[in-house]
Amino acid sequence: MSEILEKSYKAYLLHVESKQVSLHIYEAMIDEEVFNLYKIKKEDLEQILKEQGTPAGYFPIVEGFELVPEEMLSEAKEYVAVLSKIKLSPEELDSLGKKLTELYEDGKSIEEISVELEINPVSVVAMREELDLINQKDLKHEVENLLTHFILEKLKEDGDGIIPLSRDMPEKTMTKRVIEDLEEMFGDDAVAEVLAEMKKILGKDLEGWLSKDFFKKHISQYKKRPIVWHLKSEKGYFEVFLYYHKLNSQTLQLLKNVYLSNLLDYNIRKVKELKEQQKGGSGGDSSTYKKIEEREKAIDDLKEFGEKLKGVMDLGISPVIDDGVLANIAPYQKAGLLAADVLDKNQLSKGLELLNGYIEERKAECKVAKKVK
């Protein structure tokens, strides 16, 4: 496998770490300038560094390992050029490399590694690149961020802000739309390799990650105030992503009378076709029975979800974006429409309380407006 995503991530990583190297060198230069300006004595400087820690940019460079970013200011390059250098034996380099690898794979930052090993970030990044190290958790995080970007952009572009994950709907699934984005980014010929590599990185295929992992990660990233809502029936026969910023008074009607209704009609029609095949003698094997059974399970699941949707609709709530995610999502979670709980018990109670308060405020405002008229 060519590992397209990993190569792209390494290029991105080098770019980011080069910026970090420049930052640490600039910080060291500023500190040195301040110390010189105030004519700090050597013994006082040693005490300050002992108490506050030595800036990463102060440490020496390992000879043979110098990554000086091209975009770094000329003054900074001059500063780096006069830093002390240490020459290590092959054995010492090997030992240093092992320590650096351990720290890097443990999730330590460039600055933390630099301070712990007492070598300049210029050398830390150069050695990291030489050793071809990456943190797999960080790689997974960046792949998930890329997919999240695609998801958000697709929902923003979508007319009603509702995109199905379930198949058998007359609208392209989110999986299909994300794959189209990957084709555009990496090329049609490479997308199969990218999807295979993505499965290895994420631990499941794209469809599985969208259905099982995305929403929980999104909830965490957005501090329990998600702007993408994953609505899912109990057995998973109905799944859609809903974009919070396109939530309106017609959203529930669309979900129930268009998306859910179409999928329900499709499954009812398929059951009828399969039973007609049985009667005609062309589909009486065990596989046909299993297909009918599966479709009937789907029908029951979809009907149950429809009842939950109706329960929220019967509340007569018209969502107002300015009320906030907490208030708006509470009735959806209480009705069991979400793929995962967003709010804990206290937050759910608070959300419902806020929502009721906003509704009462608007009712009161309407009464006042009518009296004025």
pLDDT at 370: 72
Task: Give DSSP secondary structure letters for 247-271.
Answer: --TTHHHHIIIIIIHHHHHHHHHHH
pLDDT at 123: 98
Adjacent-strand bridge partners of 163: 241
Amino acid in position 196: A
Neighbours of 301 (CB within 10 A): 18
**Side-chain half-sphere CA neighbours of 204 within 13 A:** 10
Residue at token pair 């980014």: 185
pLDDT at 1: 44
CA distances from 136 to 15, 198, 297 (A): 18, 12, 39
pLDDT at 282: 60
Amino acid in position 226: P
pLDDT tens for the chain, residues 1 to 373: 469 999 999 999 999 999 999 999 999 999 888 888 878 887 888 788 888 888 999 999 999 999 999 999 999 999 999 999 999 999 999 999 999 999 999 999 999 999 999 999 999 999 999 999 999 999 999 999 999 999 999 999 999 999 999 999 889 999 999 999 999 999 999 999 999 999 999 999 999 999 999 999 999 999 999 999 999 999 999 999 999 999 999 999 999 999 999 999 999 999 999 998 888 766 557 888 899 999 999 999 999 999 999 999 999 888 999 999 999 999 999 999 999 999 999 999 999 999 999 999 988 888 877 777 6
pLDDT at 184: 97
Cα–Cα distance for residue pair 111/89, rounded to 1 Å: 24
- SS3 state at 171: coil
pLDDT at 281: 67
- SS3 state at 217: helix
Angle between helix 214-221 and helix 136-157 axes, rounded to 10 deg: 90
pLDDT at 25: 97
